[in-house]
Amino acid sequence: MSASATPSVRRASVQRTTRETDVRVALRVDGSGRIDVATGIGMLDHLFTSIAFHAGWDLELTCRGDLEIDDHHTAEDCALVLGQALFEALGDRAGTERFGDALVPLDEALARCAVDLSGRPFARVELGLVRPMLGALACENVTHVLQSFAMAARLTLHVELLSGANDHHRAEAAFKSLAVALRRATARRTRSGDSATFESTSNVPSTKGVLS
């Protein structure tokens, strides 16, 4: 895996090439709406696009994967590389809010998400999906994508569905709730700890002085 980052503008580019996949991600956290996702799996494109749009990112994500086998390697590796790109882009996370949460509805579905940019990877994902597939994406891999992303981004993630009858709505609401929580967690802090305007890179949001 190769990576390059420019912390001052919070962006990173990461490439991961294996015998199973070739994934390339270019991420800018403080984006302007430029999003181009092409994984070869329509539902996965849809979910990653939802994250980027509602988190306020610029994102280019492409993958050539062994879809002749199944969707697992592509879904997992895209999540890992995107998570790594976010970790690289945020650097030591100084000046960020660090914590973010969101309650997001999509019609009958309601998702709740909480994020901590702690540097300590953990994921609790409870989606309650019942269909075997959403398009060409296995429902078990929807959960696995969120878990893999959290591990690679080295963040703590809790996401759960509070209601919902349609599995497409449940999955999409979960990803949108993650996006909004990430937008809040990565927001720049003010000196008083309120909203997102403080540009200092010296105040790590931890009493330890470091996030790890």
d(CA 182, CA 100): 6
For 192, other C-beta atoms within 10 Å of its C-beta total: 7
**193 within 8 A of 96, measured Cβ to Cβ:** no
Domains and CATH numbers, the chain: 2-185 (3.30.230.40)
pLDDT in tens, 92-131: 999 999 999 999 999 999 999 999 999 999 999 999 999 9
d(CA 100, CA 153): 15
Confidence of residue 205 (pLDDT cuts 50, 70, 90): low
Above 50 in pLDDT, residue 160?
yes
Residue 4, both tokens? 């390059």
Q: What percent of the chain has pLDDT over 90?
A: 84
pLDDT, residue 60, reads 99
Above 60 in pLDDT, residue 195?
no
Q: Mean pLDDT across the chain, nearest whole number?
A: 92
Q: What percent of the chain has pLDDT over 70?
A: 87
Confidence of residue 2 (pLDDT cuts 50, 70, 90): low
- Residue 109, Cα to own-chain centre: how many angstroms? 20
pLDDT, residue 203, reads 73
Residue 5, both tokens? 């980052």
pLDDT, residue 182, reads 99
Residue 26, φ and ψ in degrees, nearest 5:
-120, 120
Cα–Cα distances in Å, from 4 out to 54, 120, 199, 204?
A: 24, 22, 22, 22
Confidence of residue 204 (pLDDT cuts 50, 70, 90): low
Average of pLDDT values for 60-76? 99
pLDDT in tens, 134-143: 999 999 999 9
